Amino acid sequence: MPFQLEIFFDNLLNGLTLGALYSLVTLGLVLTFSVIGIVNFAHGDLFMMGGYTFFLLNNSPLNLPYPVIALLVIILTAVYSMIIERVAIHPIINRSWRTYAITTIGLSIILQNGALAIFSADPKQTPTALANQIITPFGIRISLQRLLILLVVVIVFIGLQVFVKHTKLGKTMRAVSQNREMCQVVGINVYRIALITFGIGGAITGLAAALITPLFSVYNTMGSMLTIKALAAVVMGGMGQVNGALYASFLMGIVESFFGGYVAFAYKDVVSFGIFVLVLFLRPRGLFGKKIGL
């Protein structure tokens, strides 16, 4: 196959949007991971809940415009996330990551099967007007929805940086991520920070759901693969490094897109996880992990 610039850019753009999509899902996870140390196996299912919420609102007789629906999905997903924190995470917050893992796996089972009982197993599609509008700048086909996702990721990323570095709450969250006991000593309410972190993580996940759902279908088990990819991105980025996790998500998206486009579509997930495993071998602390001496 001769090298064609158009196909190359097609794949690149596709990879970028896929990466943007992964990074939006990863962001919510890496926040709770880095601040509270929660290994959340139910994160993808939170995204699934956001997706179904979007589906319900979009098909409601109210005929709400897309931005309003998106806002509602963001708020509701944040609320779900905070409820989850209160019910399941709060009582075990001082326990080991194994407890986190099993509890969130239990949560994931409940959420997936709850969705199955309510919505049945067939995928639901909710295309919006934006997803169907395709523009072709320089001969590259792209839907406006994908462009919007890219734009939003950049905005969210910058917003999060500003929030974490320059607001009091953001600084508190960073402090909690570094030493929880000391924070308690100086009078920071760690439980409140955990709740807020879950709220922010939920809001970002809701945003992801509102942006991504129009492009794909929603089904009850969609969260599993997303959870694992997001966890892989978190680990690859260097255990709880927000920036690292984002770069790792983009790396996975681009690699998947190029491999799927040029080599073999069936093996694209293999390569994506293969790179993850390879990164662990070459750099056990992740791509951007800092070396901590023993």
Partner 1 sequence: MKTSIQWFRWVGIPAFFLVVLTVLPLIFKTGFMINALINVVRWTIFALAFDLVAGHIGAVSLGQPIFYGIGAYLTAYLASELGLGWLGCMLVAAVLMALLAILAGLAFFRIRDVTFAIGTLGALIVTQLVANSAEKITGGALCKTGIPRPEIILPFLAKAIKIIQPIQYYFLLLPFLGFTILLYLALTRSRIGKAFTAVREDEARASAIGIYPLRYKLVAFAISGALIGALGSWQAQYVTVFCPSDMGQDITTALLIMVFVGGAARLSGVVVGAVIFSILPPFLQVMGSQYFQPAYQEILYGIILITVMLYMPDGLDGLAGRLFRRFQHHKKEGG
Segment near partner 1 (CB under 8 A), from 15-23, 97-105, 142-150, 188-196?
97-105
Residue 148 found at the interface with partner 1 (CB under 8 A): no
Applying CB under 8 A, the site for partner 1 has a residue count of: 42
**How far apart are CB 109 and partner 1 at their closest, in Å?**
4
Of residues 111-130, those binding partner 1 (CB under 8 A): 112-114, 116-117
| Residue 214, CA distances (Å) to 50, 73, 145, 292 in order | 12, 13, 8, 43
Between CA 122 and CA 129 the distance in angstroms is 23
DSSP annotation string for 230-275: HHHHHHHTTSS-HHHHHHHHHHHHHHHHHHHHHT-GGGHHHHHHHH
Between CA 292 and CA 294 the distance in angstroms is 7
Binding mask 53-92 for partner 1 (x = CB under 8 A): -----------------------------------x--xx
Q: Are 37 and 97 in contact (CB under 8 A)?
A: yes
Residue 103 found at the interface with partner 1 (CB under 8 A): yes
Residue 221 found at the interface with partner 1 (CB under 8 A): no
Between CA 180 and CA 183 the distance in angstroms is 5
Closer residue to partner 1 (CB): 47 or 276: 276
Per DSSP, helices labelled H in 120-221 are 129-132, 144-166, 168-178, 180-185, 190-212
Among 62, 185, 186, 266, the residue binding partner 1 under the rule CB under 8 A is: 266
Q: Give the position of tokens 């969609």.
A: 222
Which residues on adjacent β-strands are paired with residue 124? 218
Closer residue to partner 1 (CB): 37 or 127: 37
Which positions touch partner 1 (CB under 8 A)?
39, 88, 91-92, 95, 97-99, 101-103, 105-110, 112-114, 116-117, 224, 228, 231-232, 234-235, 239, 266-267, 269-270, 273-274, 276-277, 280-281, 284, 286, 294
